[in-house]
Amino acid sequence: LTIGRTRPGAIFLDIGCCVGTDIRKAVADGFPAERAIGSDLHPEFGELGHKLFRTTTESFAGHFVPGDALDPAMLSVVKPFDRAPDSPEPELSSLTSLNPLQGRVSAVHASNFFHLFSEDKQLHLARALAGLLSPQTGSLICGGNWGLPEKGTMKEGIFGSKIEMFCHSPQTWTELWDGVVFPSGQVKVDAHISEVEMEGFNFWYMRWCVRRL
């Protein structure tokens, strides 16, 4: 939110936004709506968000860009930028993919997103999001997802459901971002895990932030 208030031209992206609850919260707390973008796989989530929050494209200036984050046409992997892009900024209201935002996004929010994917796909998505991030000091990617004290695969979900969910630990998550996704020393990673109880089911949840130095 400080970035949105103090950095001219800052862009906020909520990846895996569903109906846009978090992007609306960011806007309500002060991030400029016209600089806020939500993205999710299903195009209908944008319209469902307007119905749920009783908004329209006229009354809520945030943008929704639907698409598959694993599709290179939507979000390709490029190396993290070490300087600002030379090309003009795209018109945010006309975006049909996230690729024109590469090297331009000041803050990326990714909650309850990474744990939906395998270990290899988590690495792919981390690299893709890193390519979107502005090289400016303080630009960040943050969020939360299921984790484990030691990385591995969860076998049981809520209400006893059987799942196969790969989960990083705070240590392996930190090592992934600082040294694999970004060259070592270019980012500061904070990752903390805590045990959560829900309807009698206990699981580990990891909150984290990757900030450019």
Q: Where are the domains of the chain?
A: 2-146+169-192+207-212
Angstrom distance (rounded) from CA 116 to CA 164 = 10
Fold annotation for 2-146+169-192+207-212: Rossmann fold (3.40.50)
157's CB contacts (< 8 A; 6+ apart) are 163, 165, 201
- 112 close to 145: Cβ distance less than 8 angstroms: yes
What is the model's pLDDT at position 178?
98
What is the model's pLDDT at position 159?
61
What is the model's pLDDT at position 8?
82
Query: Residue 104 has what DSSP assignment?
Result: T
What is the model's pLDDT at position 154?
85
Q: If pLDDT is split at 50, 70 and 90, which confidence band does 158 have?
A: low
Question: Would the pLDDT of 17 be above 70?
Answer: yes
Query: Residue 129 has what DSSP assignment?
Result: H
And the tokens for 70? 């694993």
Write out the H or E segment, with its range, that includes residue 107: strand 107-111
- Mean pLDDT for 56-63 is 91
Question: Would the pLDDT of 128 be above 80?
Answer: yes
Task: Report how far Cα 49 is from the mean position of its chain's Cα atoms.
Answer: 18
Angstrom distance (rounded) from CA 110 to CA 52 = 21
Per residue in 176-190, pLDDT (tens digit) is 999 999 999 999 999
* Look-up of token digits 């500061």: 188
User: Pairing mode, if any, of strands 36-39 and 63-64?
Assistant: parallel
In sequence order, the β-bridge partners of residue 38 are: 14, 64
Reported pTM? 0.92
Q: If pLDDT is split at 50, 70 and 90, which confidence band does 160 have?
A: low
